Each structure stands twice: as structure tokens, then as C-alpha cells.
A and B are shown apart, each in its own frame.
Chain A
Amino acid sequence: MKTRQWPIVVAILAMVLGACGGGDAATTAGGTATTDGATVTTDGGVVTTASGGGGAAGSCMGIAAEEGATIVFSGWGDETEQQVYRDSITRFNEACPGITVDYQPVPADFQTQMKAAFAGGEGPDVIYVDDQLMTALGRTGQLLPLDDFMAQAGVTREEFIPSLLTIFTLEDQTYALPKDWGTLGLIYLPEVIEAAGIEAPTGDWTWDDLRTAAQAIAANTDVGGFCQGADWARLAPWAFSHGGSFASEDATQAMLTDAGVIQAATLVADMHEEGSLVTAADVGAGWCGEAIGKKLVGMTLEGGWMVNFMNNDYPDVDWSAVSVPAGPEGKADVIFTNGIGVNAATEFPNAAAAFALFVTGRDNQAAITETGFAYPTREDQLSLITNENDLAISEGGTFDLTRVAFWGSNSGRVNDAVSKALERIFLGEQDVAAAFQQAQEEAQLALDEAA
């Protein structure tokens, strides 16, 4: 038995030694490559300017990537999204042939798995980052600041739609770059609008116009007027356009009892009370998008995901979108975004950063936008969106008052307090003032405990 184990031990030893040797070799080679790059550009040894360096081994996105680097890339996503990123990797391989990308998508429970993987020191080199992972990983030094690499690649923070970087910025350092984003628009069924005998919605509508139209639909047709659930994200455009916010800019003070939020919530509560606003469950749908597909309501607030959803599930239903209605302070929308970040413990920081920068970069964003999968993160590329409805919805990203509902590391709890307040109002448990007073206390506790 003892002798039998020897081959295994030898094999393990060989593997360990082999791995070490390989690592050393790569580092040396990488070092050589950077020297070459510097020589080519004759720029006083400044490695960073080797971007156009005529195919110097390992130079990618202006970053001197480690030669022979293999990086693991993980994100969530269904088959469509996975294909988008497999295509992105193909493009990356053409641009940077020296780096191998091992794509390992995790479709379910991504955040949980990433927290566990990073805690065990086994995190992938490049991952999707959302507000939850930014809290768990970004704030604890598990992600690599990308600013130096951005400078090398000539990417500036200013080229992105301003609020997209909110989540990923910590003490002036950028820990991830937005990979795409979404926002809400006013979705409606033209046939219902027509049946109700009203004018079709336009981008100039105010919330009062929306209310009048919803009342008309509820009165003149047998479907619901406007569909909206007890959801913080759906209240956000109402609240922001009334000059409100869920919390202060520095995420220390909850602002749920301020006039803006209360006015917006009162309007929503009144519409619910009079029956012009219904929830998806009221009309027997799982969510408001489905209620549109099933023609159970006339209007709702949903985002770009409606395009694929309607094409797949309700291809025969004719629907349209305009940007969200305006409030007394102007137009405002809420932005949802996820980014791509780099593991601080990666063996190949340069290659990993180069990949993150490439995927979120201008060229790749343009290519992804062409597929209709997501909105580009740079405002000047918004014109590349081809679908009319997507174009209308994406306008929401450009309003001055538009923002990400991010309030520091306990954002989820703050937003949840808003959803719960709306739930209590819709259920008739509390009036607006009492519900938001309670939400204010819960949100303040969450902000205090965020540390």
C-alpha cells in the first residue's frame, strides 16, 4: 500500500513544482516584453505608452500584459448574455492574442458564490461587480483599483455617463467599470390608449398627465390604467423628479420624510386609492411587464428588458415606449448598472485589467449595442441603439436628475425600507406619512450600521 502511494505523491510534487516553474517563466517573459515595449516607443522607459507598440509581445489596450497569461472571467447571465460575452472574448482574442480567457459563467446565486470564492482565496480574475459585491469585495480590498490601468489605456472616467460610476467609486478610486446599464421608460399599449379615447403618451408628459390618462383607461376600458408594484425602483423616478432622494449624497442621512419623496409617494398612493394605479397581482400577472404582454393594463414603467421579453413571449402584441414623465423639478430616472472588476489577488493583474478595460471599452460596447442586448455606457454611443423603444427608454439615462439608487454599503436595506413602506400603504396599513416615517427610521439605522 505504501509503495502504491508513491506515484501519486510524485505526481503532486511534479505538478506543484511545474506550476511554480511556469509562473517564474511567465514573469520573466513578461518583464522582457515590457522592456521591448519601452524600447520601441523610446519614451524614457515609460512602459505605459507602448500601446501602439507594433505588436510587442503582451501589449494589450496599452497595458503590458503578462505573457502567456490565462485569466478566469465569471459573471451571471442567461444564454443570451453568455453568448454576448463569448463574442466579446473572441474580439478580445483578436486584439490581444497573448492572453487566454477562461469564461466561467455562474447563472444562479452569483453574488453568494463569489463571496464564498473570494473568502476562500479562489476568486476568478475578472468578475461582474454589482452594489452587493462592491460592498463585500470592493470595501474590503478584494478588488484591484483600475485607475492606473485606465490611464495606461487612455480611458477616462469622464467618458462614461456620469452616474454609472457611482457604485464603483470608493475614495476616488475606480474598482470596476460599467459593463452596461438600464433604466425605466413609460411602456404603453397603443390599442388601450385608443380605446380609452386619449392622446398617446409623449416624452413631454408630466406625472399628472399620466394620472389623467390612467384614470381615463380605468374608466373607459375593462383593463387596468397604470401598473406599478410596491417597489423602490419604480418609485425612484417619481421621487427624484419631485426633487427627492432616498438618502443624502454622502449616504449618512436618510431623506425619506423630505418633501420630494412624500409628494411623490402621496401621488402614487392617491392613484392606488382611486384605482387608476394597480399592481400586477391585482390584475393576475406576475409582474407589470407580463401585465402589458397579457393586455391587462394600459401603461407601466419598465426598462429595456421589455424588448426581448415581448419579442420572445408576446411577439404579436404591439407596444410602445416613451421616456418617463416629468415632475415639478424636471425629468428624472433611475439607473441600474453592473460593472466589471478585477480580483486584487490575481496572478496576472495587467492581463486581467486589460480584459476588463477591453470589454467595457468603446469598441466592444459598440459591438454589444449592435446586438440590441444592452445600452452603451458612453453617452455619445447612445445613437448606436437601433430599436425605437430602446432609444426612447434609454433617454432616461441622460436627464440631469437621473441617478443610481446607491446609498453606500447598506443600499439594499435602505431601498427595501422604501419598498416596505409602499407595501404598507398599498395594503392600507398606514398612510403615507406614517409609512415613510417608519421607513425613515429603518433607513437611518441601515445607514448608521453601514460604517
Chain B
Amino acid sequence: MTQGERLMASTAAPPARRVKKRVRNETAVAYLFLSPYLLVTVVFTVGIVAFALYISFTSYNLFESPTWVGLENYRKALADTGPSGFLRSLVNVFWYVITVVPFQTAIALMLAIVLNTPVRAQQFFRTVFYGPSVTSSVVIASIFLWLYLKTGVINYVFDQTFSLFGAQWTAIEWLNDPRGLFQIIANAFGGDIPSDQWLFRGPSVTWLALMALNIFTTAPTFMIMYLAALQDVPPTLYEAASIDGASKRQQFRSITLPMLRPVTLLIVVLGTIGSFQVFDQVKILTSGGPLNTTLTPVYLVYSEALGEVGGGSVIRMGLASAMAFVLAVIIFIFAFIQRRYIESGTEQY
């Protein structure tokens, strides 16, 4: 019994009844207009998620009917501590998120503030900076494929810069260098971290290169959001602050940043979700290599679901679904924490 039906059944006075009837009609009309979208959502989102949840408890290869295996897929995913397993991919993506999200947010804010100041050819710069975001990530990745070559432009620039100061630059094979960040630091001090201790090696050079690429492409998108939000900050606040004698830095800290808080939350949450789901650059540039240092959960899910692990394997749709759900839970937890953390300070303004 819907709310409307309950209201109909009640013995309210005629005028009130008429009002409630109108409410009921309005609700019905609203649902009528919403129905195309709702239908699509129920079938293609809710239905498919429910089906995927069911599949995650089964063994399924697309062609033979699924057989129930209980929690086996989740156990397999979470117990695989090997160098090409799901946990490895989670560790990789963890490095990715904690590097990419702060950098891209900071760079987006910086670009937005710079472009918000009235400079000559402001529109031109806005367009130029936004360029990487409107370009398809596949195209950007293909371009970086060349830039990152051992004989590519990036090594050339480093080489020229170093030689200016009389130093020697050893060309790096950016897309095929599994040395970890902490490992390189350890090497500098004469130590080493063996390969079975991959957890402590930190993100590889290649992974850092992909992070840089992703920051380059995503920061402008968030820059636009910051730019829009900056224009919503009332100029009167700045005027009042400057009359009170606040410096530019104080104004930034006490007015700009707090006023941008809701947008910052949005950007950090969207950035985190996007970073956890990193896939296309990995697929195009590294296929998870070298030595699995750029293996990500979504790439693993894709490979298992389509039977393309290592270029040809059994289709394990169940395992892929289980991994996808574990990833979804992790993303949800992160988004929840961020929301609590960032929103906690908003009320006072």
C-alpha cells in the first residue's frame, strides 16, 4: 500500500482529502515522467549490479551456466599474495591514489587561482590548460608512449638540463622500469630491497610516470570546477578582509579555501574514485608491467573477466566480479571517510 493509498483510505475531511489527492496525483505524474529513466536504471544498473553480485559467488565462464561456489572467489582474491595477485594490484593502486589525488587537487587549485586573476589572454590560457582534459585519454596515452621512450623527448630534456650543470643523465626507460621509489632511495644509501619484498619497494618508476601522465590529464578538469567555484566567492568578503588589514595570504587561507570546501570535497572524492578505477593508461601503455608494478584492480578484473590474463586464460567471471565488489567496498569506505573529514569543518562558515 503506497502512501497515497493509505491517505485515500483515511477518513480525513474533504478539503484535506482533496489536497492529499492532489499530492498523490503529483507524485504519480512525477513517477510517470521519471519512469523512462527509472526503468533504465533498474534494468541496466540495479539489475546488473545484482546479477554481478550473484555471479561473484559462482564459477562462470560466460557460456556454461554458473555453478555456486560460495565465498571461494572472495577467498581466492584476498588470499592471493603473489606478485601478480589482487592484493598486489590493491597496493599499487593505493600508491597511485595517495600520490595522484593530492597532486591533481593542488595543481587544479593553483591553475584555477592563476586563471582567475585578470591576466592578458585569460580565455586563451583557460582553453590551453583545459586541452588535456578534452582530449581522449587513449590519445594522450599514445602520445606519452613516444615521450616516455628511452630515446624520447623527456629523457632528452633531462639530458640537456643536466648537461647545463655539467652532470650526466642516464636515460630511463620510463615505461619499463620496475625499480621502486624506496628501492632507489635505498640504493642511493648502498642498500637494496629484494624482489620478494615488493611491498616495501614503493611505486615503480613506470608507475610514477603513469601517475604524472594522469595528473596532467585530470587536473584541468578539476581546475574548471575550482574556477567556477572561485567565481562564486562574494567579492565583498575580500573587500571586508582587506579593509580589516588581512594580507593576500590570510585572505586565501581564511576566505578562499573555506569557501571552496564543498568543491574540494567533490574533487577529492571524484579524484579518489577515478584513481581507484585507473585502467586505460595501464591497458595502453604497460599492460600491468613491468613486473606487475602497474597492475591495477580494474585491469585485473578486465583480464580475468575476458580470459586475457597473460594473453590467454580461462574466463573467470566470478573471480572478476568478486574483485570488483571488493574494490567497490574499498572505494565506498574511502569516500565515506573523506566526506566526514572534509565536511567536519564546513559548519562554522
Contact = CB atoms under 8 A, between A and B. Distances in A.
Interface in B229-282: none
A34 interface: no
A427 B313 contact: no
A371 interface: no
B87 interface: no
A429 interface: yes
A378 B314 CA distance: 30
Contact of B291 (A142, A424, A442): A424
Interface in B129-180: 149-151, 173, 176, 178
B309 interface: yes
A171 B319 CA distance: 27
A48 B252 CA distance: 87
Contacts of A409: 313-314
Contacts of A140: 61-64
Given A284-B150, A442-B82, A136 B63 contact: yes
Contacts of B66: none
A115 B313 contact: no
Interface residues of A, number: 37
B290 interface: yes
A145 B291 CA distance: 39
Interface stretch (A157-165, A241-249, A315-323, A413-421): A413-421
A112 B311 CA distance: 12
A118 interface: yes
Interface stretch (A69-77, A297-305, A443-451): A443-451
B291 A427 contact: yes
A135 B82 contact: no
Given A118-B63, A430-B195, A284 B151 contact: yes
Given A136-B62, A136-B63, A430-B195, A415 B313 contact: no
Contact of A412 (B62, B150, B313): B313
B306 interface: yes
* Max chain A C-beta neighbours (<10 A), residue from B82, B173, B311: B311
B63 A412 contact: no
A451 B314 contact: yes
A427 B62 CA distance: 38
B308 interface: yes
Contacts of B221: none
Interface string B165-202: 00000000100101000000000000000010000000
8 contacts: A115-B306, A115-B307, A135-B313, A136-B307, A412-B311, A416-B310, A424-B195, A427-B290
Interface of B: 61-64, 82-84, 149-151, 173, 176, 178, 195, 289-292, 306-315
Given A413-B313, A417-B310, 4 more contacts: A141-B63, A281-B150, A420-B291, A438-B83
